[in-house]
Structures are given as structure tokens and as C-alpha cells.
Structure 1
């Protein structure tokens, strides 16, 4: 059960990456949670598995820190571009194109979806300006960019208690599969400041799909024009999108080290 892993990060959003095409390991919710534990495991926000695929160059599977398997992770997609090179990846959120470049990597994650069933929401409503709110956070836009997001635009990002409100919104009954929560402040038409409460991982230094969802929401509501610079605690991503086209995300990703682990020590 001993195999190799790579520790990587995208703007501080960190991953344990296992290339199961080379070092196969049976992954379960409990094992993923144990590996991600920062005190007794290797420690990461997300565990990433690269597996064989019949429809793409490889399959990308993603487990959050809490052991839940999710559809997409933008920062990890850039990390895989650095690790394995240009490729088409099959994910639970759809196929994506990844390629390393001078900035780190560029990823095309497909076109966003806005239907209430696509998010999904518990019942029908306008996803461009949802008639709901949590304290000062009101009328968000919902968008699926391979995984589900809500985006709130506020005047003062620092005035929002993201760590308190984030988990309340994430687990609200309106979102049957939970939700990623993005709080954004427009700087100007080409720059956004963002903090993201990530479903299953909590407050993160950076969220690639969150940056994509927020840029799409800003462009769709005419607050911004692409390309948009999205600044997060861990750094900045460039996001570009036109209606009917895939979202393009560009930014850094870093390989930190390669290690070996006995996976049997992390349970079954």
C-alpha cells in the first residue's frame, strides 16, 4: 500500500495529489479525510486523484478536507497542468482543458450554467438576483461552473463575517447539495476582491472555481468586462468569459514536494 504523492498548491489552496495511473490506491471518504487531516495526516484542503479515462487523457477526482467528493477544483486543475502537462481531464463537472504556460497554467472549464436545476436549488427562482438573503448579504447570483456557487457583491468586503455566515449559507436547505459562498467587492470594471467559503473545506486562501463564478457573475450583471483580475488572500487569477463560450482561468500553481506514504495507515 506504499505509494507516491505530490504536495502542491494554487495560491495557497493546497492539495495532496496521487497519480493512481502509476500508484493505485483505493480511496474512501474516511481515508480521504484521514489523509487531509493537518494534525495526523499529510494535510491539505483537497485530495486529488488522477485516474485513467476512456473519454479523456485522464480522470480527475476531488475529495474535500471533510471527505466529501466534489465535482471541480479550479486551483487543482492548474496544479495538474504543472504536474502532467497539457491534457483533457474528465471530471464530475464535465471535461476541462488544462495547459501549463509562463504564468503557471491556463484552464478552460466549460460554459457556466444558470438554471435553478443546474445549481441545483431546492425550488425554482431567478438565479440572476435570487430573492433571498442572510443578514447584510442579499440577492446573490447562482452559477454552476462545474460545481455550485452563489456570489454576493458588497460595498465593504471587510465588514462581512465570512467565517460565521459562510457555513450558514453553505448548509441552507435552499441548496440540497450544499453551496460554495463567494463574497465579492468590485474595485473597478476589471478588478474584483474576493473571499470564498468553500463547501467542505471552509474559508480558503483562494478558490479557482469561486474566482470563475464571481467573474462570470460580474460580467453577466454588467459590473465588469473581461478579462477580470480576481484578487484573493493567496493571490490573483485572471478570468475571461464571453456569453456562450468556455470560462478561461489563468494563474500560478506550485509543486512543493514529492513524498511517499503507506496508505494503509490512513484506514480503509
Structure 2
């Protein structure tokens, strides 16, 4: 049985298993994601990320991401930052601006480098979309939320009860209003203006952080008049800086990426 090298990384606690599939192809990534993500019997993670070489000249690398339940996600901001750090520090590129092909399009990563170390990464997350679900979403007694698409669907509810994210997320992920299921964010504006946010990711449950969720929360805060176009989103695993620029209507996310360990698995 062959052994596959992997790298464990996290962005603000949102942890994934990363594999360079240009060197080590994965035949069945859905099954691998389920098995390897198990925190008791596997490596333990929020999912599996496959890094590949791009077959199109418009992009430098590709990303495929599989949640802990095996479902394939369209995009992950935290994983994108980790890929930027991985490909630069592992010598796969010398570029500090990287174009990453995802299922929700090409994302541009700007690496903030000190010496040979990528200290943080800014990701152009593109324009948010606000396609309203076809029916009212029962938010379990909370205020009605705001639907935001960042290439994947999010439903942001502003509430003082952010610790109800487990119960609320579990009930709303499969709500009929969301035919593709939905990521759920509960958010609260703190006295210093920071937006405290907790996340339920479809396919993974409660996670320490979610890059697209942070962007969706910041956009929802602007739309509802709760914050300006620059926000600090404080998630369970750390803080992400989000800017929704008027110039191009794109949302830019800046945050850290961290190596945890390397290993091999059968």
C-alpha cells in the first residue's frame, strides 16, 4: 500500500489536510476526506485540499476542497491563504501574486513576505451577490438574516446569541430555501466595532473560522448599516481583516496562514 505525503495547515484555526496532487494524485478524494478528517481515527481536519498545477494559462495553481463529510466545496478563503503560503515557502513558485483556480473562479492571492516567510495573505474574493432565497427563512426566533453568496452560499444572522450557532446551523443548513444547503453565520457587533462571528459550515459543522463566511458577514454588516466597508471579523480561531472596496466592488480578505505538521498516510 502506497504512502501519501500530506501537510496539515490552518488559517485562524480552520484546519485542512493539503496534498500536492501534481506529485501524488488522489483517486477518490471524497472517501479520503471522510476518512482522514476524522479527529479520532484519522489525521483530523475540517476537510481535504488538493493543490494542483493549472492547465490554463490564466492561473498558476488549482484548488479542490472536500469537506469532512466528503462533499466538494466551491471555495474556501482560509484554504486559499494556506495554499499561497505552501506554494511559496515550498519553492513551487517565486511569485508573490498568485492566481488560484477554484470552482468559483480564479482568485488572486497577494503574499506579504518577510524574507522567505509568508506572514499573511490578502485574497481578492470577488464581488458578493445577494440573491434572496425564495421564501422566508425561520431563524429560530432570531431576526431575519441576510443571504450573501461569496461563490458559496451564506446566511448571516445578527444576534446577541452567537453561541447558539450549533443549534441554529444544524437546523438551517438544510432549510428548503437553500437548495444547495447553506453556511450559517451568527454575528454580534462588539463595543469596539469588531464583529464577533461564529460559523456553521455546510458539510463540516462548527469550524474555528471561515474566510468566505467572514466576507459574507462583513458585507451583511454594510448592507444592514451595522458597520463600514472595513471590518475586523473575530472568529473562534482568530481575526480576519475584511475590506469591501467601492472602487471595484470586490471584497478583500487578509489573514494569517500557519503550518502545523507534515506526515504520511496510507
TM-score range (shorter-chain normalised) is 0.7 to 0.9
- Is residue 73 of structure 1 aligned with residue 76 of structure 2? yes
- Is residue 147 of structure 1 aligned with residue 130 of structure 2? no
TM-score using structure 1 length: 0.87
- Which residue is equivalent to 2:137? 132
**Contact between 1:95 and 1:109, CA under 8 Å: does it hold in 2?**
no
- Which residue is equivalent to 1:2? 3
In the alignment, the residues of structure 1 paired with residue 245 and residue 120 of structure 2 have an alpha-carbon distance, to the nearest angstrom, of 23
- Which residue is equivalent to 1:199? 202
**Contact between 2:137 and 2:175, CA under 8 Å: does it hold in 1?**
no
- Which residue is equivalent to 1:62? 65
1:59-109 CA-to-partner distances (Å, cap 9, x unmatched) read: 100000111101011111111111113411111111101132164211111
- Which residue is equivalent to 1:128? none
How do 1:58-207 and structure 2 match up within 5 A?
58-85=61-88, 86-101=97-112, 103-116=119-132, 121=133, 123=134, 131-154=136-159, 156-158=160-162, 160-187=163-190, 190-207=193-210
In the alignment, the residues of structure 1 paired with residue 41 and residue 197 of structure 2 have an alpha-carbon distance, to the nearest angstrom, of 31
**Contact between 2:199 and 2:210, CA under 8 Å: does it hold in 1?**
yes
Shift of residue 135, structure 1, vs aligned partner: 2.0
Say which is worse superposed, 236-245 or 73-82, in terms of deviation.
236-245
Of 232, 236, 254 in structure 1, the residue corresponding to residue 235 of structure 2 is 232
**Contact between 2:37 and 2:48, CA under 8 Å: does it hold in 1?**
yes
TM-score using structure 2 length: 0.88
**Contact between 1:172 and 1:178, CA under 8 Å: does it hold in 2?**
yes
Of 245, 252, 262 in structure 2, the residue corresponding to residue 248 of structure 1 is 252
Equivalenced residues, count: 249
In the alignment, the residues of structure 2 paired with residue 257 and residue 39 of structure 1 have an alpha-carbon distance, to the nearest angstrom, of 17
When residues 90 and 189 of structure 1 are mapped into structure 2, their CA distance, relative to the original with a 3 A threshold, is: farther
- Poorly superposed stretches of 4+, deviation over 4 Å: none
Structure 2: 5+ residue stretches without partners: 89-96, 114-118
**CA RMSD, aligned part only?**
1.7
Shift of residue 15, structure 1, vs aligned partner: 0.7
When residues 219 and 189 of structure 1 are mapped into structure 2, their CA distance, relative to the original with a 3 A threshold, is: farther
In the alignment, the residues of structure 1 paired with residue 137 and residue 192 of structure 2 have an alpha-carbon distance, to the nearest angstrom, of 26
Partner SS, residue 137 of structure 1: coil
Structure 1: 5+ residue stretches without partners: 126-130, 263-268
